Structures are given as structure tokens and as C-alpha cells.
């Protein structure tokens, strides 16, 4: 296996209607998505061709469609759906997805609530990428 590099997309902000409470679904709110893709980038580095890498603009649109799409109760579920979409690209060996819910219905002052998950491609050992 080639050395795994990273593409990082942070701060993708999308309006969605996710949450346990009815008012979260009715009113909606902004969610912020961070992605870290682990894949070999040497083919793109050698060719200088976008076809040899992940087109992060197109990926951002696909992820945004998930966030703006069918409501779910938990941001854990939303993060899982996003990971599934990202891993449709067979070049990606592992993805880290963080879903931020900065306007969560918490009656206290807070900066953010987020869930981060790390998902390897099926059949790929999760230990294949170390930090």
C-alpha cells in the first residue's frame, strides 16, 4: 500500500434539520463539518491532474447534500452517513468526520458540541494509519 497522505476540509457550513426535538426539525440550524481524508496523493503529485485525486469541491457538495437532506435525531448518525458518502471514493482508505452543532439546545453558555468519528474503508485495518 502507498503511503497515506491527507486532504483536510474544515468549516463546511450547511443548514440542516437534525435533532431530537421537534423545534430543531421545524426551525433547523447550521451544522459545521470537518473532514480529514487519508489517501495516497503521489499519483496527483506526479501528474498534476485533478482526476488523480479527490475533487474536494465535488465532495463538499455531496456532503452538503447529506447535511441538508433527510433529518436524523443524532449527529452521530449524520456523521456516519457523511463517512459512508466519503468512502464511496475507493481511493480513500480512511476518513475522519467531525460534525459540529454550535447551536445545540443547551440552556448554558457553550462554544460548540461536536462528534468525531474515524472510519476505515471496509476490509481495511483501522490501524493502517497512525497519527
| Domains held by the chain: number | 1
Residues 3-49: tens digit of each pLDDT: 799 999 999 999 999 999 999 999 999 999 999 999 999 999 999 99
Residue 90 lies in a domain: yes
Residue 21 lies in a domain: yes
Read off the DSSP letter of residue 67: H
Residue 113 lies in a domain: no
- Is 101 an active-site residue? yes
Residue 76 lies in a domain: yes
Whether this model's pTM surpasses 0.75: yes
Q: Distance (Å, rounded) from C-alpha 38 to C-alpha 123?
A: 15
Residue 125 lies in a domain: no
Residues 73-127: tens digit of each pLDDT: 999 999 999 999 999 999 999 999 999 999 999 999 999 999 999 999 877 665 4
Q: Distance (Å, rounded) from C-alpha 14 to C-alpha 19?
A: 14
Single out the catalytic residue among 18, 100, 101, 119.
101
Whether the CB-CB separation of 53 and 7 falls below 8 Å is answered with: yes
DSSP lists the bridge partners of residue 118 as: 96
CA 10 to chain centre: 9
pLDDT band, residue 53 (cuts 50/70/90) = very high
Please give the residue range of the domain that contains residue 86: 8-107
Residue linked to cell 436524523:
72
Residue linked to cell 463546511:
12
* pLDDT value at residue 47: 96
Residue 3 lies in a domain: no
Residue 128 lies in a domain: no
Amino acid at each position: 500500500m502507498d503511503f497515506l497522505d491527507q486532504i483536510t476540509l474544515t468549516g463546511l457550513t450547511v443548514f440542516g434539520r437534525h435533532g431530537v426535538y421537534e423545534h430543531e426539525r421545524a426551525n433547523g440550524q447550521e451544522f459545521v463539518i470537518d473532514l480529514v481524508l487519508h489517501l495516497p496523493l503521489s499519483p496527483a503529485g506526479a501528474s498534476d491532474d485533478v482526476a488523480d485525486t479527490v475533487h474536494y469541491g465535488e465532495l463538499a457538495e455531496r456532503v452538503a447534500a447529506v447535511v441538508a437532506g433527510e433529518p436524523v435525531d443524532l449527529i452521530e448518525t449524520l456523521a456516519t452517513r457523511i463517512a459512508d458518502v466519503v468512502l464511496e471514493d475507493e481511493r480513500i482508505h480512511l476518513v475522519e468526520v467531525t460534525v459540529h452543532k454550535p447551536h445545540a439546545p443547551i440552556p448554558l453558555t457553550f462554544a460548540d458540541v461536536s462528534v468525531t468519528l474515524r472510519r476505515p474503508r471496509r476490509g481495511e485495518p483501522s490501524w493502517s494509519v497512525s497519527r
